[in-house]
Structure 1
Amino acid sequence: MAIFPFKPSKARRFEILVQPHLEAMYRFAFRLAGQQQDAEDLVQDVVAKLYPRLDELESVEQLRPWLNRVLYRQFIDQVRRRNRQGDRSLTELIGAEGQADWLDSLESDHVGPDLQLEQARLGPVLDRVLATLTPDQRTLLLLHDVDGWRQEHLAEVLDIPVGTVKSRLHRCRAALRKKLQRELEPVEPVGRVGE
């Protein structure tokens, strides 16, 4: 029996290229959109747009960062389109509902009663404070500090210099720290001294 060399179909070639990256694309889309359905729609839109551009896709050397950049730009385009259609704010478009449970996904080597109590106390506060950050700030912090993205990768995906990523991360952390301090400080009763 002779084996004939053949070129796989266009659909198969596309699947071979994109399939290994779909899970990472979904995680990134979820960080951007904040909701499962919106993240799935975002990935589906990107995949549908890329299918006719298979030749270009095959010529990309580092596919994952390239796909993330395309995904990010598609997300920005969708947000802009939605903003033009209505007067809703970006925060309304990208809600914090899907972000609220991210602390539950963190693992610890040792979960003692002290840590459990601290997490129970701080978890909801941190979720509330994260929800008050701008979507860009929240996404940048979560991608870098929670998902472990490198600054160079973020710079490539966001199409900005690494120095800009560093300064934005610094400002985001400062804003988060300030808001957490305000949230966690005990409120002093207002009244006269000596009463």
Structure 2
Amino acid sequence: MYRFAFRLSGQQQDAEDLVQDVVVKLYPRLDELESVDQLRPWLNRVLYRHFIDQVRRKGRQSDRPLSEVVDSVSQSAYLDSFASEDAGPEEMVDISRIGPALDQVMATLAPDQRALIMLHDVDGWRQEDIAEVLDIPLGTVKSRLHRCRAALREKLQRELEPFSNTGRVKD
């Protein structure tokens, strides 16, 4: 539950508070939890709904990119852990550009879009499980995932290539 809450909120304290709120809310109803067939998706659905309620209560507020939450040393170490031993200088430059750009672009996505991308592409959840947790049809998950990826791709391309073809000097 904590990992899912952290993926939703993006901050350790908020994730801890979210999990604690859900556990406190469900503790008096332990006897009802025994009748739930698949506890993990059910708990994640409760956690997701509680998160959405909190977001709605707080109103729209800007999300912070990962670079503001995690210090640059930890972020660099995390990104470097994915580089192969044979990575050349060009690949290292690309990696150093993509990480911060991806963090910035992910911060611009709506919380439900970010949650969908994180659940499927980062955590590796099946689309059927996501549909059950978010309580939406499977086709909706597929279409939203496609639109989220397309928006993420477009924003990332704009972030990494700030100059359009019209702004370049022609030969």
* TM exceeding 0.5: yes
Shift, 1:149, TM fit? 0.9
Q: Which amino acid aligns with 1:112?
A: D
Higher RCO (CA 8 Å, separation ≥ 6 residues): 2
Secondary structure in 2 matching 1:66:
helix
Given that residues 26 and 40 in structure 1 are in contact (C-alpha distance below 8 angstroms), is that contact kept between their aligned partners in structure 2?
Answer: yes
Name the counterpart of 2:78: 104
Given the alignment of the two structures, is residue 113 of structure 1 paired with residue 87 of structure 2, yes or no?
yes
Residues of 2 paired with 1:39 and 1:70: CA distance?
14
Q: Which has the larger radius of gyration?
A: 1
Residues of 1 paired with 2:77 and 2:118: CA distance?
11
Compared with structure 1, are the counterparts of its residues 192 and 159 closer, same or farther at alpha carbon in structure 2 (3 Å cutoff)?
closer
Q: TM-score, normalised by structure 2?
A: 0.82
Deviations 1:50-100 (A, max 9, x none): 1100110011111100100111111112222222xxxxx1x42x4334589
Name the counterpart of 1:3: none
Q: Which amino acid aligns with 1:172?
A: C
Given that residues 31 and 142 in structure 1 are in contact (C-alpha distance below 8 angstroms), is that contact kept between their aligned partners in structure 2?
Answer: yes
Gaps of 5+ in 2: none
Given the alignment of the two structures, is residue 62 of structure 1 paired with residue 31 of structure 2, yes or no?
no
| Identity of matched residues, % | 66
Given that residues 155 and 161 in structure 1 are in contact (C-alpha distance below 8 angstroms), is that contact kept between their aligned partners in structure 2?
Answer: yes
RMSD between aligned residues: 2.8
Deviates more, 1:117-126 or 1:142-151: 117-126
Given that residues 103 and 123 in structure 1 are in contact (C-alpha distance below 8 angstroms), is that contact kept between their aligned partners in structure 2?
Answer: no
Deviations 1:154-180 (A, max 9, x none): 100100011100000000000011111
Q: TM-score, normalised by structure 1?
A: 0.73
Deviations 1:16-74 (A, max 9, x none): xxxxxxxxx00110111111000000000100111100110011111100100111111
Name the counterpart of 2:101: 125
Compared with structure 1, are the counterparts of its residues 151 and 35 closer, same or farther at alpha carbon in structure 2 (3 Å cutoff)?
same
